[in-house]
């Protein structure tokens, strides 16, 4: 029995990419099928960074094709090619940045900055070129999380561009690098918005696939300015199961929807505490809140993270969990989250809402 392209495609359709939630053919990832007698060669192209996933994915598909009648050998090649996306057509793209991801929360203290740091590091581990901008101007913390020494200042290029500081393979920029760490920023909203826009547009990012923006908590004029002036591809909302946090998180989701920026999903922190002595699980801040929030707004629950001392200690020590303990269960959850975020951005063109059109008639 001779193998045909149709048989190969039918076999590939039986396997679902867990991040795109589609098979390789339906998702448009299939690039080449070459059948030479009993030898089959297939090339796939994933639209998101998946360096830790693609080899296992290729092996699974190779095994399926090898089991077909008439096939002696099968080779599946998987490449990752990240394209540029932005939700707001009217906002000009950032130079040397393909995709901007806003990490936001309705209130402070829910682990937003920790999530942003680990998301950036996880994307870098997947093979992406990544930068992170600490836009939480009143409480910048990314410098500490990335282990950047106090007093470090960015270089200036051509008297116009800030050169971001590289740490753990990620380009980092923060207002904390330009101010005294012990002196609070006492600015009104418009001043902060202007400074942040200048920081974003005048940083010499080096051909990034993803720029993570650690947003200030809340839904005020600073957040609105960033959402309207920066070409954001999508937003990740961070919350805890606590009712008060969920109430504020809902406002964050609504804010992004009003400016037509896709919400890529929800990350729930401090979901459960596991006692280190007896292993007893206790939901200190409530249970199932992130899942309810995701269901209410029809978005993904990207991750439900435990209340863990290790996460806190590793972040405070300048090496977040993703790189401090890369084989841990928590790190694996961050990796899965990073791949899902990349996949949702790639699917954004089909899912994003169009800007409303206004028509005027003489009737």
Q: Enter the DSSP assignment of 115.
A: H
Kindly list the domain boundaries of the chain, sorted by start residue. 5-80, 97-351
> In the CATH scheme, what is the code of domain 5-80?
3.30.300.130
The gap from C-alpha 44 to its chain's centroid, in whole angstroms, comes to: 22
What number is the average pLDDT over the span 174-193? 70
**267 vs 88, more confident:** 267
pLDDT exceeds 80 at position 198: yes
Structure tokens at 207: 């051909």
DSSP label at 242? S
Digit-coded pLDDT (tens) for 245-297: 677 778 888 888 888 889 999 998 876 656 566 655 555 455 555 677 777 77
- Three-state DSSP at 78 gives strand
Q: Which of 209, 207, 193, 148 is nearest to 173 (CA)?
A: 148
Residue 168 neighbours by CB under 8 Å, 6+ apart: 121, 124, 146, 147, 319, 323
Cα distances (Å, whole numbers) of residue 13 to 6, 16, 28, 61, 146:
11, 7, 11, 10, 42
With H, G, I as helix, E, B as strand and everything else as coil, classify residue 359. Answer: coil
Mean residue pLDDT of the chain comes to: 84
Q: Which residue did the predictor score with more confidence, 90 or 14? A: 14
Lowest mean pLDDT among 23-27, 114-118, 327-331, 358-362: 358-362
Strand order in the sheet with 97-104: 165-167, 170-174, 130-134, 208-214, 97-104, 232-239, 263-268, 301-304
Could you give the CA distance from residue 171 to residue 165 in angstroms, rounded to a whole number?
A: 6
What residues have CB less than 8 Å from 243, skipping those under 6 apart? 286, 289
To the nearest whole percent, how much of the chain has pLDDT over 70?
86
Pairing of strands 273-274, 281-282: antiparallel
Cα separation, 91 vs 231, in Å, equals: 6
Integer Cα distance of 202 and 285 in angstroms: 41
Q: Please check if 139 is assigned to a binding site.
A: no
Query: Is 127 within any annotated ligand binding site?
Result: no
Window from 62-66, 159-163, 335-339 with minimum mean pLDDT? 159-163
Q: What is the pLDDT of residue 219?
A: 72
pLDDT at 168 over 70: yes
Position 355 scores a pLDDT of 36
Tokens of 77: 């090649």
Q: Is 70 annotated as a binding residue?
A: no
* Other Cβ atoms within 10 Å of 168 Cβ, number: 21
Flag whether 252 is marked binding.
no
Q: At residue 224, does pLDDT exceed 70?
A: yes
CATH class assigned to 97-351: alpha beta
For residues 11-32, give the mean pLDDT. Answer: 95
Q: Is 110 annotated as a binding residue?
A: yes
- Token pair, residue 208, equals 């990034």
166 annotated ligand binder = no
- More confident call, 305 vs 137: 305
* Residues 144-154, mean pLDDT to the nearest whole number: 90
């Amino acid at each position: 029995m001779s193998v045909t392209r149709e048989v190969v495609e039918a076999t590939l359709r039986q396997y679902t990419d867990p991040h795109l939630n589609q098979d390789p053919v339906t998702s448009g990832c299939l690039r080449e099928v070459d059948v030479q007698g009993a030898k089959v060669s297939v090339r796939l192209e994933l639209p998101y960074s998946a360096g830790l996933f693609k080899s296992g994915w290729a092996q699974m598909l190779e095994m399926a094709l090898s089991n077909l009648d008439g096939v002696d050998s099968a080779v599946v090649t998987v490449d990752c090619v990240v394209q540029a996306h932005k939700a707001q057509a009217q906002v000009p793209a950032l130079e040397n940045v393909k995709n901007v991801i806003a990490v936001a929360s309705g209130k402070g203290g829910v682990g937003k900055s920790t999530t942003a740091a680990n998301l950036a590091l996880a994307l870098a581990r997947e093979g992406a070129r990544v930068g992170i901008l600490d836009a939480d101007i009143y409480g910048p913390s990314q410098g500490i999380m990335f282990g950047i020494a106090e007093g470090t200042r960015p270089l200036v290029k051509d008297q116009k561009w800030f050169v971001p500081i590289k740490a753990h393979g990620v380009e980092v920029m923060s207002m904390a690098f330009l101010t005294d760490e012990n002196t609070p920023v006492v600015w009104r909203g418009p001043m902060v918005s202007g400074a942040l826009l200048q920081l974003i547009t005048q940083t010499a990012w080096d051909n990034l696939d993803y720029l993570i923006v650690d947003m200030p908590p809340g839904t005020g004029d600073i957040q609105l300015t960033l959402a309207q002036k920066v070409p954001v591809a999508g937003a990740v909302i961070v919350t805890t199961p606590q009712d008060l946090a969920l109430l504020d998180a809902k406002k964050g989701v609504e804010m992004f929807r009003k400016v037509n920026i896709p919400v890529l999903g929800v990350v729930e922190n401090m979901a459960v505490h596991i006692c280190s002595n007896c292993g007893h699980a206790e939901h200190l801040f409530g249970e199932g809140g992130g899942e309810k929030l995701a269901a209410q707004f029809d978005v993904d629950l990207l991750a439900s993270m435990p209340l863990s001392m290790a996460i806190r200690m590793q972040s405070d020590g300048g090496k977040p969990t993703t790189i401090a303990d890369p084989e841990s269960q928590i790190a694996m959850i961050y990796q899965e989250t990073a791949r899902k975020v990349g996949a949702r951005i790639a699917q954004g063109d089909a899912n994003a809402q169009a800007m409303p059109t206004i028509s005027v008639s003489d009737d």
